[in-house]
Structure 1
């Protein structure tokens, strides 16, 4: 299963880097300019930054793990981007809200 959200921000690349650096101390992470992948034990997150913002896509084998992955990523982004107060709405691939 997968779900995605978009955070409109001029600081997308910085937040992508902060998330990858933070999680890189704990789990496998891939970080390249404008792209990152965080592999949590219960799911993974792919991050893509551009001039408009940050696209986050989480993947997991089932709905509880998908929700957990989205929550972990969201809570960390909330901390890193607290000045911008991200209000993320995750949409599951079938169109429902996570």
Structure 2
């Protein structure tokens, strides 16, 4: 999570520490991540009119890339 947050911080608004990260995308999408020893929970907020599936794909692709040693990752997206 920290490695991904650092990567995104070069182009996006990012706040992070050892346990949590928040990333704000230019299209208004926001992803909040919380890590513990076993899981990484992500809350993805996508504004009306934006493509939620595409943004899920962006997050998944980047998480897979930065967590390749822990892979394969599984994703269980749920609508709230």
Name the CA distance, whole Å, in 2 between partners of 1:49 and 1:56.
Answer: 9
**Structure 1 unmatched runs, 5+:** 1-15, 94-98
Structure 1 counterpart SS, 2:42 = strand
Equivalent residue in structure 2 for 1:66, among 39, 42, 52: 52
Residues 21-69 of structure 1 deviation map (CA, whole Å, 9 limit, x = unaligned): 0100011000122010011122110000112211011001126432222
Do the aligned residues in 2 keep the contact of 1:27 with 1:39 (CA within 8 Å)?
A: yes
Task: Quote the residue 1:46 is aligned against.
Answer: 32
Residue 74 of structure 1: SS of its match in structure 2? helix
**TM-score, length-normalised on structure 2?**
0.85
Segments of structure 2 that go 5 or more residues without pairing to the other structure are none
Bigger strand share: 1
Task: Tell me what 1:80 maps to.
Answer: 66
1:90 aligned residue: 77
TM-score, normalization by structure 1: 0.71
Partner Cα separation in structure 2 for residue 63 and residue 54 of structure 1 = 27
2:3 aligns with: 18
Where relative contact order (Cα < 8 A, 6+ residues apart) is larger, the structure is 1
